[in-house]
Amino acid sequence: MYDANYLASRLRGASVGAEDSTLLRNHQTRETLSYGAFFANAERMARVLVDAGLQPGDRVAVQAPKTQAMLELYVGTVLAGGVFLPLNTAYTGAELSYFLGDAAPRVLVCDPKRLDDLTPIAKGAGVAEVLTIAADETGSLTERRDAQEAGFEAVARAPEDLAAILYTSGTTGRSKGAMLTHLGLASNAETLKDVWRFTRDDVLIHALPIFHTHGLFVASNITLMAGSTCIFMAGFDADAIMGYMKDGATALMGVPTFYVRLAGMEGLAEVSKGMRLFVSGSAPLLSETHDRWREVTGHAILERYGMTETNMNTSNPYDGDRRAGTVGFPLPGVEVIVTDPSSGAALPQGEIGVLEVRGPNVFAGYWQMPEKTAEELRDNGFFITGDLGRIDNEGYVHIVGRGKDLIITGGYNVYPKEIELLIDDLPGVNESAVIGVPHPDFGEGVVAVVVPEKGAELSEEQIRAGIASDLAKFKQPKRVIIVDVLPRNTMGKVQKKELRERYRALLS
């Protein structure tokens, strides 16, 4: 029934004949959902969409709480030949109006609380149908689903057809819609399932949002493809996660902040005994967190590197040395090279430059932005990630920062990571972010924003003195600001853009 649909047939594959096995244990509702019931619901969702006039290639936009219905809608959209378009729940009406105008979806699914705000925006963007889904799984979407029969002949879709559009977080200018293909999503999940050894015996704690590549594609696609079970949580809840670890979970996928918070929980050593795998990504994991975790639990967190446009590119090894501060090796079938930021020429091993990636996982371009696509996706298939990094002698990839975070002061390049690592090593420092702000003489000047450890007293002088002997003068911060917390987005990424704006006038 799914054979002609490239991605759906692969998502269904492992559970054929195992319809009774559990796909989801829902933390909110305390209910379980079997594979058979999930796919029957996904088929009903496909029927709801076809009834709403969905044609192959049409977009289905969703801005809604994390629910199992949203996951069913994702697979239902794929079955119906549509393109799934999840949107960050934090986006405002004004932002939604851009996304809906840009993507022109056939259907929008939103939280019932936002129906009144979003209906006029959706109508203005030509959306044919607006449906709702609330955090407790109620709404017109599930009502329509339940009124449908299960069973649906999947619409034929080839490897190169689109399955999803995910908008980038838009840290530089407007968000761009990354067009993700059936092949891109399927091949990446298949590879990760194999290299991380997911099987039917796994029970994954799923506490990530499903509007982002990490929670939607990495965590959910792997679970489906392996026939594993996932504990589906609306958000991060340290106590509940501790309980699930104790109670039969085998794997956790998280952003670094998950691990920072869990590392401080009493009883972690005991409850983590039955766990097989801890994966971290979406933002850099501090070596300190990695070391602490290993000390307490005996497990080395497996760090991987990916992004909206490519899904996952590299991973530390399952067997072998998982090195703190690195993102491991290119995944099978994925090539990673380092190029000169100005000339684009490949650099020798060990040198810092821009990471470029090629493989079946790489997206098909930005939705309706041919110029942006041409700027970032080379004719030879390499995607220019915008991340700065290097590949060491043993082949481990190291991320040094985002290209746009590179500081150029008096004509010299300064990589913030180098300074952050030194500051983070000082006593009393919890974490730091180093940025460049306008400077009248040097173009940009280095500023360090530092968070002390709980209860520690730190001064600007102490920080400066602590790193002075390790850094060339031009790299030394001209100012050090002590703050309580660094601004972060929902995926745990430090918002350097916000810091640059906040301290814009500091050196002028």
The 432-471 site mask, x for binding ligand AMP (CB under 6 A), equals: ----------------------------------------
List 63, 175, 220, 282, residue binding ligand AMP (CB under 6 A)? 282
CB of 500 to ligand AMP, least distance (A): 16
CB of 166 to ligand AMP, least distance (A): 8
User: What angle do the packed helices 68-79 and 35-51 form, to 10 degrees?
Assistant: 60
List 283, 296, 471, 486, residue binding ligand AMP (CB under 6 A)? 283
List 15, 213, 361, 373, residue binding ligand AMP (CB under 6 A)? 213
CB of 385 to ligand AMP, least distance (A): 6
Options 9-17, 117-125, 188-196, 304-312: segment touching ligand AMP (CB under 6 A): 304-312
Q: Which two structure tokens, joined as six digits, stand for 455?
A: 């209860």
CB of 443 to ligand AMP, least distance (A): 24
Q: Is 354 in the site for ligand AMP (CB under 6 A)?
A: no
Q: Is 257 in the site for ligand AMP (CB under 6 A)?
A: no
List 58, 387, 420, 444, residue binding ligand AMP (CB under 6 A)? 387
Q: Is 278 in the site for ligand AMP (CB under 6 A)?
A: no
Q: Is 303 in the site for ligand AMP (CB under 6 A)?
A: yes
Kind and range of the H or E run holding 97: helix 93-103
Options 33-41, 184-192, 280-288, 437-445: segment touching ligand AMP (CB under 6 A): 280-288
Residue 54: which region, alpha, beta or left (left: phi > 0; alpha: psi -120 to 50)? beta
Q: Is 252 in the site for ligand AMP (CB under 6 A)?
A: no
End-to-end CA distance of the chain: 66
DSSP 8-state secondary structure symbol assigned to residue 216: I
Q: Is 169 in the site for ligand AMP (CB under 6 A)?
A: yes
Contact yes or no for 303/277 (Cβ under 8 A): no
Strand order, beta sheet including 329-330: 32-34, 22-26, 229-232, 203-206, 251-254, 277-280, 302-307, 311-315, 329-330
In Å, how far are 92, 203, 391, 414, 457 from 482, measured between CA atoms? 31, 41, 33, 21, 10
* Subset of 6-65 contacting ligand AMP (CB under 6 A): none
Q: Is 402 in the site for ligand AMP (CB under 6 A)?
A: yes
List 77, 142, 228, 308, residue binding ligand AMP (CB under 6 A)? 308
The number of helix segments (H) and strand segments (E) in the chain equals 17, 24
Partnered with residue 389 across adjacent β-strands are 353, 399
Total residues contacting ligand AMP (rule CB under 6 A)?
Answer: 18
Q: Which of 443, 437, 442 has its CA nearest to residue 501?
A: 437
| Amino acid of residue 279 | V
CB of 339 to ligand AMP, least distance (A): 15
d(CA 140, CA 45): 12
CB of 301 to ligand AMP, least distance (A): 10
Contact yes or no for 43/79 (Cβ under 8 A): yes
Judged by the rule CB under 6 A, the positions of this chain that interact with ligand AMP are 168-169, 213, 281-284, 303, 305-308, 327, 385, 387, 399, 402, 491
